[in-house]
A and B are shown apart, each in its own frame.
Chain A
Amino acid sequence: MTAWLIKTFLLCVLNVAAALLLSPLCEGILRKLRATIHSRVGPPVSQPFWDIFKLLGKEDLRSTGGLVYAALPALTLGSVLLLAALVPIGTGAPLSFAGDLIVVLYVAAISSVLMMLTGFGSGSPYAAIGSSREMIMLLTVEPVMAIALAVGAFKARTLTLGGIANWQVQNGPSISMAIGGVAFFLALQAVAGKLPFDIAEADQEIMGGLLIEQSGPRLAMFRWAIWTKQLVLAFLLVEVFFPWPHFGVYPADLLATLVKVMALLVLVTVIDVVNPRLRIDQAMGYYMRVAVSSLAALAFAVIGK
């Protein structure tokens, strides 16, 4: 019992540490890639680490009070780290006994909701607009993620992520899971806050949107949470929808996953760089079409493909 407890605890720590430490590095690599496509040198790869370090040392200027408002950044980062412990990274998720794919979906949504609350609570009209846009995005993108994961659950006859991944490894690729994977990828573009869907967070049109009033350590935590969420959901996508090749040996599996995750994030960034931002109503329309099309995946799953 104790051995299992220790093993679970260590795996949790490993997952959380991997998510926390790898995400600024990932972000740095992606910024460098973005800069290269822009024909410029760009910041060094370690820049996000320096950004967090600098922000943690700055003054915390809070425009409104309240205990809940003060705790929101930490809660957001915490929820993303919880998501990291629920998602398989290299091997089975350490907390998979505590939650299956439905819990994962909800925990993924918590961080968006918390950021929305921050926006509404900060009192700036620009943040309010950013928050309302984030709400619309969440409502439109969640169903797509849910449908994609539901396809996996249907095929594998289980609700646990590890179960779906194992089923995939045993049964090889299938059309329905491929469509589901693509749908989840499109949803990832929005959840990671990348163009053409970065409508809520980094909106130059409304001066920074959601996070406009956050500064210092609060901003550091929000930014870290966004980067980590992007990485963790990429892990989720790769582990559940594209788990091949599977070695059975933890270090090799981890390495393979990391390579696939980097390739995925590179694709996300390339799409980000060659697109302008869409308006919220256009993004909504787009995701509704994606949701309807991904129902085709369910249809394929039903007929056994």
Chain B
Amino acid sequence: MFLSKLREALICLRAGRVTLKYPFAPQEPKPGFRGKVTINADLCFGCGGCANVCPAGVIVVSDKEQYLRTLEFFWRRCTYCGKCEEVCPEKAVRLSPQFETATNAPQDMYMRLDVFMGPCQRCGRCFPPPTVLDRMMKTGFREGLGGGRA
């Protein structure tokens, strides 16, 4: 009886203290960790592939006018599966290692991305302007509206 208790006590004492100092010290997740999604707005051209594959339906694509496609991201329902990252042709969507996403403000977990598009001359569907100058012309040289900025 005492032998087994002694063995148990030995296991405990040999291990030492394993408590991590988090949150009093930062804790980095392992590489490859699927955390909060980040979008590089410069690279996104509004194909909507991410919206197509998202299992939770987090991404909503709407076309406002001929030249404006809006992508809305409701990050609070994201399941961090990473399908959007897999599918994105421009590598604009990335899963960062950020896991501290608790917040009181719902707007922290909402993002809206406006992509300015130009129509294709053959089929009439929109695509984003290829150069910076074209982008500025599209927005009518308005202040503060860089094409494709979130």
Contact = CB atoms under 8 A, between A and B. Distances in A.
Interface residues of B, number: 10
Interface stretch (A35-43, A63-71, A199-207): A35-43
A61 interface: no
Nearest to B8: A274
Given A274-B5, A274-B8, A41 B13 contact: no
A37 B15 CA distance: 9
Interface string B1-41: 00001001100110111110000000000000000000000
A41 B8 contact: no
Contacts of B8: 274
A39 to B, nearest CB: 4
Majority SS at the chain B contact face = helix
Contacts of A38: 12
A290 B53 CA distance: 69
A18 interface: no
Interface residues of A, number: 10
Nearest to A41: B19
A62 B16 CA distance: 43
A270 B9 contact: yes
Nearest to A38: B12
B10 to A, nearest CB: 10
A245 B79 CA distance: 67
B17 A40 contact: yes
A37 B9 contact: yes
Nearest to A274: B5
A229 B18 CA distance: 33
B17 A36 contact: yes
Contacts of B19: 39-41
A290 to B, nearest CB: 15
B12 A39 contact: yes
A39 B9 contact: no
A39 B5 contact: no
A37 B12 contact: yes
From A40, A41, A274, name the one whose CB has the most chain B CB atoms within 10 angstroms.
A274
B143 to A, nearest CB: 54
Interface string B42-58: 00000000000000000
A268 to B, nearest CB: 14
B17 A274 contact: no
A274 B9 contact: yes
Nearest to B14: A39
Contacts of A273: 9, 12
B18 A40 contact: yes
B17 A41 contact: yes
Interface string A178-215: 00000000000000000000000000000000000000
A40 B12 CA distance: 10
B94 to A, nearest CB: 35
Contacts of B15: 39
A41 B17 CA distance: 6
Contacts of B5: 274-275
Nearest to B21: A41
Nearest to A275: B5
Nearest to B6: A274
Nearest to B4: A274
A273 B12 CA distance: 10
Nearest to A270: B9
A37 B18 CA distance: 11
Interface in A9-28: none
Given A274-B5, A274-B8, A37 B17 contact: no
Contacts of B17: 36, 39-41
A37 B13 CA distance: 6
Given A39-B15, A40-B18, 6 more contacts: A37-B12, A38-B12, A39-B19, A273-B9, A273-B12, A274-B9
Which 4 A-B residue pairings sit nearest by Cβ, starting from the closest?
Answer: A41-B19, A39-B15, A274-B5, A37-B12
12 contacts: A36-B13, A38-B12, A39-B12, A39-B15, A39-B18, A40-B19, A41-B17, A41-B19, A274-B5, A274-B8, A274-B9, A275-B5
